Amino acid sequence: MKKVATVLLAFSFIVAPVSVFAAAPTGGTGGGTMSGGSANVDEKIHNPINTDTFSAFVGQLISTIITVLFPFLVLAFIYVGFLFVQAQGNTTKLEEARSALTWTVVGAFIMMAAWGFSKVLEATVRGFE
């Protein structure tokens, strides 16, 4: 079981999708220009997070994490199914499969609880605005 957990953890760090979002600067060629000794100060800093409040940021972060981890959760359930099939009535292997199923369900519950907690937190903070 430790080997499988190690392989899944290594797989998540190596193959997990990483996205980098970059936006072209708006209004002109980008950088401020020096003309007559003064800098162009009309340009604004772009907010790369695309949220204005901390609660929206936490909600977006949790949603992104859930989106990345959900395929691994599905793979874990498929793996547990293979463990049950591979056990073929062997009691020790069935116990291992039941244990893997229990921890997969616990992981799914933790993921959904984190998502629900972020939604409750976001709704509570918005109530104070």
Average pLDDT over residues 84-105: 95
Only one residue has tokens 């049950």, namely 84
Percentage of residues of the chain with pLDDT beyond 90: 34
Q: What are phi and psi of 39, to 5 degrees?
A: -90, 150
Extents of the domains making up the chain? 62-129
CA distance 103 to 94: 14
- Per-residue pLDDT, 19: 41
Better-predicted residue by pLDDT, 25 or 52: 52
**Per this entry, what is the length of the chain?**
129
